[in-house]
Structure 1
Amino acid sequence: MSSSMPQTELGIALIGTGFMGKCHAMAWRNVAAVFGGAHPRLEILSDVTEDGAGRFSRQFGFARSTARWEEAVSDPKVDVVSITAPNGMHRPMAEAALKAGKHVWLEKPMALTLEDAEAMAETAAAHSGQVTMLGYNYLRSPAFQAARNMVRDRAIGKPVAFRGVYDEDYSADPLLPWSWRMTREGGGLGALGDLGCHLVSHMLALMGPVAEVVAQTQIAVPSRPSPDGAKRVENEDSALALLRFTSGAQGSFATSRVARGRKCRLQWELHGTDGTIVFDQENMNELWVYRAGDDGFVRHLTGPAQPDFSVFCPAPGHNFGFNEQKVIEARDLLTAIAGGPNAGPDFAHGLEIERIIHAMAASNGTAIRLGR
């Protein structure tokens, strides 16, 4: 892949310094060391305060800092803008960056509302010279890439059913304080926008487009404590759905942010006419595969035979990690900027994910058809 990496430096702006901001910074610092090509130039970092921006710019290795994100996206030395800000800022930041002629790497979810996502996809289409990519890093794990190749090569026959779950417990405690993430205005969707969209990205990559969905959502903890008294939770804590794919295959989907004991249970199994594949992100360094005629499932450990593993480590069975997935994502973005294929999801493909999760949120037990 290094041959399609940029051979000239690209200037990087980073907006946001939380969990994902730090992941982006590490990916930008490591991508050329792993895959070759020119090292990106860490040009400017933006945070909400001047003090914070300055402190994190030094920690992350950026040359300059600003408390005004508008300065970062319009800076003439910047070619690519990484956006890891809160969900409500995704649309204005991404659109401003595209209109300024920048490439955009945006963390999921794409937007607060489906209308915002549609507008962003239109803006991206109108600026086709700029590359867009959404931060669905779980698509980059070597185990998942191997599973997708198996499905493509019909190693387990024709896919007939998909069963997927993404559960965490970060909101399970009813005494957890209220935050903007629990509002429609600040957070948009709840578990669907934070977790379920990742499961949808896997589902689409393996099964293809969705034709129909019927779903129910639940707010398990209706109010949360705050310094101003109890405040209402506005978005869903969990969601369940049944799906029909355009291929005719069927699917089931579940996601929850209040599932006690679950930390990152992005787990699915895919049934084919000749076998089954099982994956669990909590055990991301293995696949379980059954093929017709086997005595049982076979455990496949990550190793150099799987996509992108060997550039990090030449030895099989040595574990891959979350941040390595982000480095691969940065490589994919740079490859697209250099004129190679866009592995996505770009904003057009991201809109497809948004349409599915927003249909689930709106369903309330009624089937919704999803057309192209």
Structure 2
Amino acid sequence: MAALGIGLIGTGYMGKCHAMAWNAVLPVFGDVEAPRLLHLAETSDERARQRASELGFEKATGDWRTFLDDPLVDVVSITTPNQFHAEMAIAALEAGKHVWCEKPMATALADAERMQEAAARSGKVAVLGYNYIQNPVIRHIRRLLSEGAIGEVNHVRIEMDEDFMADPTTPFSTRSALASGYGALDDFGVHPLSLLFTLFGHVESVVTDMVKPSEERPLSGGGARKVENHDVASVLMRMESGTSVVLMVNRAAWGRKGRIALQVFGSTGSILYDQERMNEFEIYQANGPTENQGFRKVLAGPYHQPYDRFVPAPGHSLGFNDLKVIECRELIAAIGGKPANLIDFKDGLRIERSVHAMAQSFADRGWVRVEA
């Protein structure tokens, strides 16, 4: 497969992650052509030139639209704030580019639907940046579940907690505005939903409660503004497979930094995983003498592929950015017409519809069925 030409829009934390992944995918995997980092777009020409120099891009621009007509650009990485995803992804797809867009798809369901329609019309690969599903540990858990290692799954609990909104004196920002979405549900709740989809399929129906720990937040220039979305949400879900799930998300949870705690309960055992300890999981299997039964901790190692592409020894640990490199390799495979472990716009739209059904459930105070 020929080397891909890359355009990048946005160079915040996730933009840097994408750039690092494009730069690392050949050294790590060794079975692809080195991507050519062609164009970088930022909010000004000056900032774009600075970031292009730092991240290894050949050209820089303060207007992201300028490189869409370049026939050498094959893939556009979109890492801008959520409210800009739809316009940029649709424009890139209509220009004949593959798209790698960070989550969530969009802040409005209609925009997410337009993105999927544009992807279907284009015939191009359009995927979302759900890198937690790339963890070799998650891949192994999926295999264990498919092999029946804990019997038939009957209940799942998954929680995502961080504390970046825990301090009530944190100034009001776009994160607390309706323009950025429902709050914790779509700000990061889509991440546990991506894990649920990867392990168990799509959501069928939901009932939701949401909370605002802070009713208002101070403005940087003085005064205060009412918080327009919710930092905490609790959801009961029924999957299409029939499995019952409890989802809890909280971005005001003091002491939690990057927790995605997954508990899977089956007829013959249980599996536990926590993103804050992403290189290990625990498994309980109800077999053998009762007095010897207990949870076993399993450390990630080179036998949990593609861990071996990064580290030759077990227990030495991968990190967040390594998952992005794996995701980048999966994207290259998909562009080459090969099977890939990704969430495309079609399945991503189902995740978005799940989020919007949760918000509708809260408004209606009852169960809501997720549109297929």
Partner of 1:234: 228
Asked if 1 retains the 8 angstrom alpha-carbon contact of 2:103 and 2:130, the reply is yes
2:178 maps to 1:190: no
Residues in 2 aligned to 1:159 and 1:208: alpha-carbon distance in whole angstroms:
13
**Equivalent position amino acid for 2:86 in 1:** R
Aligned partners of 2:19 and 2:107: how far apart in 1? Answer: 24
| SS of equivalent to 2:157 | strand
Counterpart position of 2:298: 300
Query: Given residue 111 of structure 2, which amino acid in structure 1 is its aligned partner?
Result: D
Q: Distance in 2 between matches of 1:317 and 1:107?
A: 29
> Do the aligned residues in 2 keep the contact of 1:167 with 1:195 (CA within 8 Å)?
no
Query: Any gaps of 5 or more consecutive residues in structure 1?
Result: 1-5
Alignment of 1:5-16 (within 5 A): 6=1, 8-16=2-10
Q: Are 1:164 and 1:268, in contact at CA under 8 Å, matched by a contact in 2? A: yes
Report what 1:102 is aligned to: 97
Shift of 1:35: 1.2
Tell whether 2:47 aligns with 1:49: no
Post-superposition Cα deviations, 1:276-323, rounded to whole Å, max 9, x if no partner, equal 110000000101001112610111000011121111111111111100
User: What is the total number of aligned residue pairs between the two structures?
Assistant: 364
Per the alignment, in what secondary structure is the counterpart of residue 157 of structure 1? Answer: coil
Q: How does 1:48-87 map to 2 (within 5 A)?
A: 48-87=43-82
Partner of 1:218: 211
* Distance of 1:192 and 1:330 partners within structure 2: 26
Q: Aligned to 2:336, which of 325, 335, 338? A: 338
Counterparts of 1:23 and 1:242 in 2: how far apart (Å)? 33
Q: Is the 8 A contact 2:160 2:258 kept in 1?
A: yes
2:14 maps to: 20
Q: Distance in 2 between the 1:74 and 1:15 partners?
A: 15
Q: CA deviation at 1:210?
A: 1.6
Instruction: Write the deviation string for residues 313-369 of structure 1: whole angstroms up to 9, x where unpaired.
Output: 111111111000000000000000111024220000100111111111221231001
Q: Corresponding residue for 2:196?
A: 203
1:110 and 1:354 in contact (8 A); partners too: yes
User: RMSD of the alignment, in Å?
Assistant: 1.1
Which runs of no fewer than 5 residues in structure 2 stay unpaired?
none
Question: Which position in structure 1 is the counterpart of 2:358?
Answer: 360
Task: Write the deviation string for residues 238-269 of structure 1: whole angstroms up to 9, x where unpaired.
Answer: 10011112222211010011011110111111
Q: For 2:268 and 2:201, how far apart are their aligned partners in 1?
A: 19
The residue number in structure 1 matching 2:243 is 249
Question: 1:228 Cα deviation (Å)?
Answer: 5.4
| Alignment equivalent of 2:260, drawn from 242, 257, 266 | 266
Alpha-carbon deviations, 1:37-76, whole Å to 9, x = none?
1000000100001111000000000001000011133322
Asked if 1:119 corresponds to 2:103, the answer is no
Amino acid at match of 2:166: A
Contact 1:74 1:97 in 2 (8 A): no
Greater Cα shift, 200-209 or 12-21: 200-209
1:182-221 Cα shifts (integer Å, max 9, x gaps): 2122x12211112110001111211222221100111221
- Letter of the aligned partner of 2:193 in structure 1? V
Cα deviation, residue 371, structure 1:
4.2
- Offset from partner CA, 1:103-133 (integer Å, 9 cap, x none): 00000011011111111111111111x1011
Aligned to 1:142: 136
Write out the 4+ residue segments of structure 1 that deviate beyond 3 Å after TM superposition. none
Give the Cα–Cα distance (whole angstroms) in 2 for the partners of residues 200 and 43 of structure 1.
33
> Which residue does 2:168 correspond to in 1?
174
Residue 90 of structure 1 is matched in structure 2 by 85
Q: Is the Cα–Cα contact under 8 Å of residues 160 and 259 in structure 2 kept in the other structure?
A: yes
Which position in structure 2 is the counterpart of 1:3? none
Is the Cα–Cα contact under 8 Å of residues 299 and 315 in structure 2 kept in the other structure? yes
| TM-score, structure 1 as length reference | 0.96
Query: Tell me, what secondary structure is at the counterpart of 1:310?
Result: helix
In the alignment, residue 143 of structure 1 is paired with which amino acid? V
The yes-or-no answer on 1:323 pairing with 2:321 is yes
Aligned residue for 1:74, secondary structure, equals: coil
Distance in 1 (alpha carbons) for counterparts of 2:86 and 2:356? 17
